[in-house]
Amino acid sequence: MDELRAKNPNVILLAEVRQRDAHLHTQYPEDWPYWVRGENGNLVESSGYAGIYLIDTTDPKVQDIIVQQAVAIAKCGLYDGIFFDWLLEDGGSLRDFSVHPAPFLRPPEAEREARLAILQRIRQAVPDDFLILCNQTRTKLKLSAPYVNGAFMETFQDYEGGYTYSGLAEIESTLLWSENNLREPQINCLEGWGIPTEPPDSPINQRWMRVFTTMSLTLSDGFILYNDGRKIYGEYDHQHWWYDF
């Protein structure tokens, strides 16, 4: 931490709190009672991430654990805030994506209410300037807005060659809405997805990188990522290059 801050005194450090899934063994044991289990009684893998399985966010005891983790991070003084992945308001994310169509394993309404309750409780227990950043893809955090400081916009491509006009318009709309509606201090983050069949520094990837960087700088405070578009099952995704623009 000290080394990072020495290199950049303005760096913002966030700790991830997992509210949809968790690592087996390193976070919770296999006999932990709050895993989501499928019809066969087995743990449900989290959409292609090896060793990570769904947890029952709708259970009040799980909500207590998540809130306690967030409050502990705030109190430790090492981080500026927390990050929640998979915080979607427009539908349930506790689904078995190994099956098509992916069935809901908990009612979407119950998930939505649980996540909103978690955010409310955390916000009440942490300092006003403690940041809460949520990955909601391209959607608007209309219910969570009073409690959340930023949207992490994991935009995904519209097609193999990048983004459509309507897709970019949707992304722009959500970014502007987040700037106008989420709480201060704000940290809205825009992530463009690269073309995986091209080298990261290819002309087409550089063009898309400039599109997203320009959008971020003109519509928000310039928190921007552009990844290489590759997702290797069980290994990695969200690999980023540094560009000189």
CATH code, 143 = 3.20.20.70
Confidence class of residue 161 from pLDDT cuts 50, 70 and 90?
Answer: very high
**Is residue 245 included in any domain, yes or no?**
no
Given a cut of 60, is residue 234 above it in pLDDT?
no
Residue 236: predicted pLDDT: 65
**Is residue 58 included in any domain, yes or no?**
yes
Given a cut of 70, is residue 217 above it in pLDDT?
yes
Q: Is the peptide bond before 33 cis (omega within 30 degrees of 0)?
A: no
**Is residue 244 included in any domain, yes or no?**
no
* DSSP label at residue 199: -
Longest dimension (CA), the chain: 51
**Is residue 106 included in any domain, yes or no?**
yes
**Is residue 112 included in any domain, yes or no?**
yes
**Is residue 216 included in any domain, yes or no?**
yes
Boundaries of domain holding 44: 2-237
Pairing label, strands 131-135, 81-84: parallel
Buried-exposed string 15-45: b where 16+ CB fall within 10 A, e elsewhere:
bebbbbbbebeeebeeeeeebbeeeeeebbb
Pairing label, strands 45-46, 49-54: antiparallel
Q: In the chain, how many domains are there?
A: 1
**Is residue 242 included in any domain, yes or no?**
no
Give 59-94 pLDDT, tens digit per residue. Answer: 999 999 999 999 999 999 999 999 999 999 977 899
Residue 232: predicted pLDDT: 66
d(CA 184, CA 219) in angstroms, rounded, equals 16
Q: What is the mean pLDDT of the chain?
A: 94
CB 202 within 8 A of CB 166: no
Buried-exposed string 98-136: b where 16+ CB fall within 10 A, e elsewhere:
eeeeeeebbebebbbebbeebbebbbeebeeebbbbbbb
Indicate the pTM of the whole model: 0.95
**Is residue 243 included in any domain, yes or no?**
no
Closest-CA residue to 143 (of 121, 119, 179, 171)? 119
Mean pLDDT for the stretch of residues 160-174: 98
